[in-house]
């Protein structure tokens, strides 16, 4: 069974580690964690009982959340590697935000098994990366996603 040992989200600076989806400091959040699996990226998430659509199946917003944070995490992994770094080497990684998110729901996603999001990354521009993902429940690909992620601008928090 696969695991994510070194996740990019473990390395985010504290100020950027609050995301409900993937922030390690968000007490009630999902704590999504994304690491390398060969040249692909991997996020594993075991849905909570309440994350249902109808009993036995997962609601779409959770799958979208997994694809979203998996996408920004994957882009951060890729740019970090391009810069010569890997999670765990003590260098703070870049932080991405989502420009666009697309999800195709292929099959109802069963609630009784962990989800595996597997990402393929493409550099569109040094600050803009595309992450194509497949979300598996067991052996079944239940959703496909695409995230365009951009390096978080310094102006992100300027209202």
Binding stretches for a copy of itself (CB under 8 A): 15-16, 18-21, 23, 26-30, 50-57, 59-62, 64-66, 68-69, 97-105, 108, 110, 156-157, 159
112 to 47, 78, 89, 115: CA distances (angstroms): 8, 31, 36, 10
CB of 135 to a copy of itself, least distance (A): 13
> Is residue 117 classed as helix, strand or coil in its secondary structure?
strand
Q: What is the smallest separation between the CB atom of 95 and a copy of itself, expressed in angstroms?
A: 9
11 or 68: CB nearest a copy of itself: 68
| Residue 55 or 126 having the CB closest to a copy of itself | 55
Could you tell me the smallest distance in angstroms from the CB atom of residue 132 to a copy of itself?
A: 14
Query: Please, which residue, 89 or 97, has the CB nearer to a copy of itself?
Result: 97
Among 93, 60, 71, 87, residue whose Cα is nearest residue 149: 71
Q: Are 111 and 52 in contact (CB under 8 A)?
A: yes
Q: What is the DSSP letter of 125?
A: E
Sign, CA dihedral 122-149-41-15, equals positive
Question: Where would I find the H helices in 21-102?
Answer: 60-82
Could you say which DSSP state residue 127 is in?
T
Which residue, 86 or 134, has its beta carbon nearer to a copy of itself?
A: 134
Q: How far is the CB of 67 from a copy of itself (least distance, A)?
A: 9
């Amino acid at each position: 069974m696969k695991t994510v040992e070194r996740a990019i989200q473990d390395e985010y600076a504290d100020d950027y580690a609050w995301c409900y989806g993937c922030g390690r400091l968000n007490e009630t959040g999902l704590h999504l964690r994304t690491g390398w699996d060969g040249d692909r990226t991997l996020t594993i998430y075991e849905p909570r009982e309440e994350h249902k659509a109808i009993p036995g199946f997962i609601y779409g917003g959770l799958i979208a959340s997994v694809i979203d944070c998996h996408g920004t995490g994957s882009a951060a992994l890729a740019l970090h590697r391009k810069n010569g770094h890997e999670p765990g080497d003590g260098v703070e990684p870049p932080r991405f935000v989502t420009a666009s998110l697309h999800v195709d729901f292929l099959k109802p996603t069963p609630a009784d098994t962990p989800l595996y999001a597997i990402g393929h990354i493409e550099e569109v521009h040094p600050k803009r990366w595309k992450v194509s993902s497949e979300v598996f429940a067991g052996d079944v690909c239940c959703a496909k996603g695409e995230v365009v992620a951009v390096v978080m601008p310094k102006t992100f928090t300027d209202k």
